[in-house]
Amino acid sequence: MTAIRLAIAAAAFAALSGPASAQAPAAPAARPPAGTPAQQRPGLLFKEAWRQSAGGAEAPVNLAAAVRNPDLELKVYGQGAVLNMVGKDGDLNNPSHLFSGESKNPVAFTLRDKKAYADLSTLGRLRVNTKMSGLHKVYPIVKLANGDWWLADKPAGGSIRDWLMEDVSLADARWYKLDIADVVTKGNPVDKIDLAKVDEIGFADLMPASGHGPGGWFDVGEIEVYAKPVAR
């Protein structure tokens, strides 16, 4: 009888103690200290909507005439890089835009604000209107004030049928060192670079284009950059 009583007592103890230990409350999630200010989104630093070529006909991009914003400079990079201006101002179906179809090598372009560096270090982002053909994408690139070039792993270009305005956040991007002369990446990515003083901002296509017609190229229309200005 003693053995039976002991077995009953052990079973009763297990029934009472088991669920309680299995359902122990989880530790509360950590919260930021009271009064911690939220990160502030930067405002619009600059916008470029491009200016059409004469009559809206396709023509090699004129670096000075294509830019509407007088504070900006347009630059093009890559071996034998070719960019054309296509489309018409105010045409939603075919806005004035940069077209890469005739570039037989990787190509990149940037905008440089003559008055200010861009501080993209706190929730900096880009907004870009694109249309793509084939597997092409455009990757954000930056030239830092110290001359270093980097490419972010956050491509834009999601539609081959219609124009698509996209926001590209740089807050969680990984970065590849960029050889701007050949528009190719070098080495392994890094999780963070110092974006407090950016000299030029733009996009790169790492694939050669296929000419006119379906195949492979990019169209890039309006661009907006959201960052804090830093006086030069």
Cα 79 from Cα 136, distance rounded (Å): 18
Q: What CATH code is carried by the domain that includes residue 191?
A: 2.60.120.430
Q: What is the pLDDT of residue 2?
A: 45
Whether 91 is in a domain gets the answer yes
pLDDT above 60 (res 7) = no
Cα 135 from Cα 18, distance rounded (Å): 57
Beta-bridge partner residues of 217: 133
CA 208 and chain centroid, separation = 20
- Encode pLDDT of 120-155 as tens digits: 999 999 999 999 999 999 999 999 999 999 999 999
Angle at 177 between CA 141 and CA 173, to 5 degrees: 55
Whether 1 is in a domain gets the answer no
Whether 209 is in a domain gets the answer yes
Whether 173 is in a domain gets the answer yes
Whether 65 is in a domain gets the answer yes
Print the domain residue range for 63.
Answer: 44-231
How many folded domains does the chain comprise?
1
Task: Check if the beta carbon of residue 162 is closer than 8 Å to that of residue 210.
Answer: no
Q: Which of 41, 58, 39, 61 is nearest to 50 (CA)?
A: 61
Q: How many CA atoms lie within 13 Å of 23's alpha carbon, on the beta-carbon side?
A: 5
pTM exceeding the 0.95 threshold for the entire prediction = no
- Encode pLDDT of 67-125 as tens digits: 999 999 999 999 999 999 999 999 999 999 999 999 999 999 999 999 999 999 999 99
